[in-house]
Amino acid sequence: MGTASEGPLPAGRVEHIHVVDRQGAPMRSLPQVLAVAGVGLEGDRYATGRGYYSNDPEPGREITLIEIEVLEALASEHDLHLAPAESRRNITTRGIRLDPLVGRRFLVGEVLCEGKRLCEPCEHLAELTGKAVVKPLVHRGGLRAAIVEGGIIRVGDAVRRVAVSAPDERPAS
């Protein structure tokens, strides 16, 4: 299978990085983080097996992303103010739609990820924030992804979908 000829692929950027070492604790903002393939983000609850859903293993708990545009829409459409850290997602992006990345490989800086499924909101998020976030975030709560090739993710890094030549090859960008 050859590289898809799709022309320039749109890119966004990393606006915020957050991790937390145990379930329920406040998220910490970082300027950069080490992403470990097959594990998660260094210091994050899911990388260490101490997340709320750690006993319910499934692909895509290694890194979670949400669009800042969604958080801004919550404020304007629902008067619901949810800060990036409150979303409980690791990476907040700007300028790239995340939903189309389900089933696709993409880069966050130098880190190769693969979108696994949408990160739908849950009652646990509503309990932690004390906000009625479930209904407004349905189908726009972000993306769960696997880390295929690790590295450092920094605030300001590009986030871009990549065309892949074959499943075992590094993507052409």
Give the DSSP H/E element, type plus range, for residue 93: strand 91-94
136, pLDDT greater than 80? no
Query: Structural domains in the chain?
Result: 13-161 (2.40.33.20)
Q: Cα torsion for 73, 74, 76, 82, to the nearest 10°?
A: -110
Query: Closest by alpha carbon to 34, among 11, 63, 54, 68?
Result: 63
Higher pLDDT among residues 1 and 96, named by residue: 96
8 Å CB contact between 70 and 78 = no
Average pLDDT over residues 81-91: 91
Q: Write down the pLDDT at residue 5.
A: 45
Would you say the pTM of this structure is higher than 0.85?
Answer: no
Number of neighbours of residue 139 by Cβ within 10 angstroms: 8
How do residues 137-149 score in pLDDT, each as one tens digit?
878 889 999 999 9
pLDDT at 164: 59
